[in-house]
Amino acid sequence: MGNTNWKREDVRFSSAESFCAGWLYQPQHGKAPGPALIMGHGLGAVKEMGLAPYAEAFAAAGYVVLVFDYRHFGESGGEPRQLLDIQHQLTDWRAALAYVRSLAPVNPDQVAIFGSSFGGGHVMTIAAEDRQVAAAIAQCPFTSGIASARTLGLAGLLKVTALSLADQAGSWLGREPRLIPLAGPPRSAALMNAADAQSGYQALLPRDNPPPDQVAARVGLAISRYLPGRRARHVQCPILFLICEPDSVAPAGPTLRYARQAPNGQIIQYPIGHFDIYHGENRDRAISDSLTFLQVHLPVTKVQREQPTKV
């Protein structure tokens, strides 16, 4: 990793009947039990799709960081592959929290969660139910399945619904999943078909060994019923909302309404699209704003930086 003050290792932790794979970042110089951050990505995405610069910055600031893949995706276990199951992903978040809280360098009462896009919705759900979560960050978060479904347009919505129903029926008959693209051109049968969705998603794919860009179509039915923004008012810990406006995938209007209901919420808006926040100066600003928030609510102390690490 060069002249960094952190190291990264590949890890696995159990989740339900299988496991999640992840990257664990640990500051090299001292961590009396201190703060940690868990990071999860968006719709069908894996850790290689733009989360490393965030994690590296947070680790350089002294935080233990776990970035993980949901079951059925990336290097994690779970069959069938490319099954995007909301309840499975929420279980994975709970398993990630249990794993990180068990690590010697981590104070279990100082663990924050960071979710981007679809993962941003998950962190609202998890932070609302788990009062031990110390802080949360929801970046360009998915908050309303209804609002996101409307971004597909009537033609796209009808196509997605037809594929979703066929895949769901097939699953009841024990058939292999029927796949649907994660991103496609306008009016296409894809879970994201806004004008900037296909190019924005493809820009996140790693050049070497890119992951599949399709998921089991049945999730289309579940997404429209998922309204994690409604949980925002139940989140008691400090929570930061990084909202892109305009956002063609997770509309900012509903997100803002939900975010304002969080008792300890902070809102930062960016005049950029949904996928722009993962690149260049936009990403750097989001990282800086996130670090400022974390250092206020979950500071890394001088003692934690200086004491030797034990795992």
Domain annotation covers residue 101: yes
- List CB contacts of 221: < 8 A, sequence separation 6 or more: 161, 164, 165, 168
Mean pLDDT of 103-131: 98
Q: What is the pLDDT of residues 183-213, one digit of tens each?
A: 999 999 999 999 999 999 999 999 988 999 9
Domain annotation covers residue 188: no
Residue 30 has pLDDT above 70, yes or no: no
Domain annotation covers residue 218: no
DSSP characters over 255-308: HHHHHTT-TTEEEEEESS-TTGGGSHHHHHHHHHHHHHHHHHHSPPPHHHHHSP
Domain coverage including residue 120: 6-151+227-306
Looking at residue 305, its pLDDT comes to 56
Q: What is the CA radius of gyration of the chain?
A: 19
Q: By C-alpha distance, which of 111, 161, 127 is closest to 298?
A: 111
Contact 118, 142 (CB under 8 A): yes
Residue 303 has pLDDT above 70, yes or no: no
Q: What is the pLDDT of residues 272-282, one digit of tens each?
A: 999 999 999 99
Taking residue 254's Cβ as centre, other Cβ atoms within 10 Å add up to: 18
What's the structural domain count of the chain? 1
Domain annotation covers residue 53: yes
Residue 145 has pLDDT above 90, yes or no: yes
- Average pLDDT over the chain, rounded to whole? 94
Q: Quick check: helix, strand or coil at residue 86?
A: helix
Q: Quick check: helix, strand or coil at residue 152?
A: coil
Looking at residue 31, its pLDDT comes to 55
Domain annotation covers residue 179: no
Domain annotation covers residue 196: no
- Write b or e for each residue in 163-179: b if 16 or more Cβ atoms lie within 10 A of its Cβ, otherwise e: bbeebbebbeeeeebbb
> Confidence class of residue 308 from pLDDT cuts 50, 70 and 90?
very low
Contact 5, 31 (CB under 8 A): no
Q: By C-alpha distance, which of 208, 231, 221, 237 is closest to 298?
A: 237
Mean pLDDT of 108-119: 98
Domain annotation covers residue 185: no
Domain annotation covers residue 163: no
> Confidence class of residue 32 from pLDDT cuts 50, 70 and 90?
confident
The domain that holds 61 is classified in CATH as: 3.40.50.1820
pTM (2 d.p.): 0.94
